[in-house]
Amino acid sequence: MKTSESFSISNLMKKSSQNKEVSSPDKEEGGPNKEAGGPNEEVGSPDKEADSPDKEAGSPDKEEGDSDKEADGPDYEAGGPDYEAGWNKAFSHVYVETGVLEHPKTQRILSKLAGSKVIEIGHYKDVFNRSGQNFKIQKNSPKLVIARRTKDFCPLGSPMCDSFGNSRFYASSQMMNCMLDCDYCYLQGMYSSANVVAFANIEDTFAEAERLLPAYICVSYDTDLLAFEGLTGFVSDWLRFCESHPGALIEIRTKAGSFSALGSRRPQENVILAWSLAPDPLIKRFERRAPSLGYRLQQMRKALEAGWRVRLRFEPVIQASNWRELYKEAALQAKIALGPYWGNLEDAGASAFRAPEGHFKRMRKMNKSSEVYAWPMVEADEETGGVVHKVARYSNDEEVTRTVERFLGL
Ligand code: SF4
């Protein structure tokens, strides 16, 4: 297995000593003191906590009289995360900018959503940025918006993200938001809407990417592009781009993606498929609607067997009750599941939970009952490439990251 020098984000960033404690939700709420770095049974019953946000937010699915199984999302274990059956239900309404109505990508997407109501709009921000939206409630019934991206096709990669040693690091978001609902998702701090946006004009993204080459481009940070592949075909578009542009190296990160979405495509040297993993008990608590660890490992193994470059990430590592035991067990499960292919991994690693400070407060406010936010966080000024940025992170985040890395044998 190739090892990345950037297993620990903390190793990449020079930190200022100006750390101050971010007000702990526990302290604010008068809860019991939680020791930083230690599992604490007093945090409360994880199962009860996992149940409560749904009950609080209300479940439109249940209100509509559907089964619990449907309300939980696609049945991954029964054949994979195939949204085809659920798209019409999930995307009951599709808002389309007039300017992309005739775009072939729009036509492709609409052809898959025969039962959805299509509403023509002037600009996606009229829907996506409107005031008074509730991100959590919208997650229960997201709508799709098809638009034209006019700028920021391939911005520089965030200093919060791992460049894996690539100096020309960019990120590209052909879509915004995804169908999962993770308690720790930074997108809920970034966007006022949980609706999903697909930018039809990927040809303009490619024109910009071409100008930037050679470049390392992460194309699935603000969404789960592989999970949407049956609907959008954006992954196939990127693979074709990489075929004709050897100067490109792309990472496609996924939780819910199915390897079969790539069809019979042959592995490409300049494409890395990356899976974000978590222990099953934490998936159930914090990654609602996401497939199990076993399912994700199965997809990784298929990709490795087929000869693809595959990255394994425990990211973000969440401190929760018994987190050390849970991640130790999950790392072992990964080694067993990948078996002889473990050594073929491109790299493996972990990163403790952290978020841009500006987004963190909003994220925590929206997930007050989640154990994700029960551990003390600190505010820190960090520097990457000469740029100082504020992050909220665990006071012991290096130890958290290193602990899981050790479980992975790093
Ligand atoms: S899979 Fe990623 S983008 Fe989707 S909700 Fe979870 S953290 Fe957010």
Residue 18 C-alpha to ligand 1 middle, in angstroms? 30
Q: What are 147's strand-pairing partners?
A: 199
- Residue that wins the pLDDT comparison between 77 and 232: 232
User: 10-32, pLDDT tens digit by residue?
Assistant: 222 232 333 344 433 333 333 32
Q: Which atom of ligand 1 is nearest to the CA of 287?
A: 6
Answer yes or no: are the C-beta atoms of 175 and 234 closer than 8 Å.
Answer: yes
Handedness of CA 24, 30, 31, 35 (dihedral sign): positive
Residue 292 C-alpha to ligand 1 middle, in angstroms? 14
Average pLDDT over residues 351-371: 93
Instruction: For ligand 1, atom 6, name the residue with the nearest CA.
Output: 182
User: 92-107, pLDDT tens digit by residue?
Assistant: 999 999 999 999 999 9
- Residue that wins the pLDDT comparison between 76 and 135: 135
Q: Which atom of ligand 1 is nearest to the CA of 178?
A: 4
For the chain, give the longest Cα–Cα distance. Answer: 58
What pLDDT does 21 receive? 43
Structure confidence at residue 48 as a pLDDT band (50, 70, 90): very low
Q: What are 144's strand-pairing partners?
A: 94, 196
In this predicted structure, the answer to whether residue 77 has a pLDDT above a threshold of 50 is no
- Whether residue 224 has its Cβ less than 6 Å from ligand 1: yes
Structure confidence at residue 387 as a pLDDT band (50, 70, 90): confident
Distance CA 402, CA 54 (A): 33
Helix (H) or strand (E) holding 165: none
Average pLDDT over residues 282-303: 96
Average pLDDT over residues 320-327: 96
In this predicted structure, the answer to whether residue 8 has a pLDDT above a threshold of 60 is no
User: 251-286, pLDDT tens digit by residue?
Assistant: 999 999 999 999 999 999 999 999 999 999 999 999
Pick the CATH number of 9-58+149-407 from 3.80.30.30, 3.10.105.10, 3.90.1150.10, 3.40.190.10: 3.80.30.30
Spatial CB neighbours of 54, under 8 Å, sequence gap ≥ 6: 288
Structure confidence at residue 223 as a pLDDT band (50, 70, 90): very high
In this predicted structure, the answer to whether residue 309 has a pLDDT above a threshold of 70 is yes
Q: Which atom of ligand 1 is nearest to the CA of 188?
A: 8
User: 149-186, pLDDT tens digit by residue?
Assistant: 999 999 999 888 899 999 999 999 999 999 999 999 99
Which amino acid, one-letter code, is at 366? M
Proportion of the chain above pLDDT 70, given as a percent: 78
Range with the lowest mean pLDDT among 232-236, 266-270, 337-341, 384-388?
A: 384-388
- Residue that wins the pLDDT comparison between 8 and 294: 294
In this predicted structure, the answer to whether residue 209 has a pLDDT above a threshold of 90 is yes
Q: Which atom of ligand 1 is nearest to the CA of 179?
A: 4
Structure confidence at residue 65 as a pLDDT band (50, 70, 90): very low
Helix, strand, coil % (nearest 5) of the chain?
40, 20, 40
Q: Which atom of ligand 1 is nearest to the CA of 222?
A: 3
- Whether residue 185 has its Cβ less than 6 Å from ligand 1: yes
Question: Two tokens at 252?
Answer: 């496609």
- Whether residue 226 has its Cβ less than 6 Å from ligand 1: no
Question: Two tokens at 267?
Answer: 């592995």
What pLDDT does 86 receive? 57
Query: Cis bond leading into 214, ω under 30°?
Result: yes
- Whether residue 372 has its Cβ less than 6 Å from ligand 1: no
The mean pLDDT of the chain is 83
Pocket test for ligand 1, best of 255, 288, 314 (most atoms within 8 A of CB): 255
Helix (H) or strand (E) holding 30: none
Instruction: For ligand 1, atom 7, name the residue with the nearest CA.
Output: 185
Residue 165 C-alpha to ligand 1 middle, in angstroms? 24
Range with the lowest mean pLDDT among 45-54, 218-227, 251-260, 331-340?
A: 45-54
Question: Two tokens at 292?
Answer: 């199990």
Residue 245 C-alpha to ligand 1 middle, in angstroms? 29
Residue 222 C-alpha to ligand 1 middle, in angstroms? 7
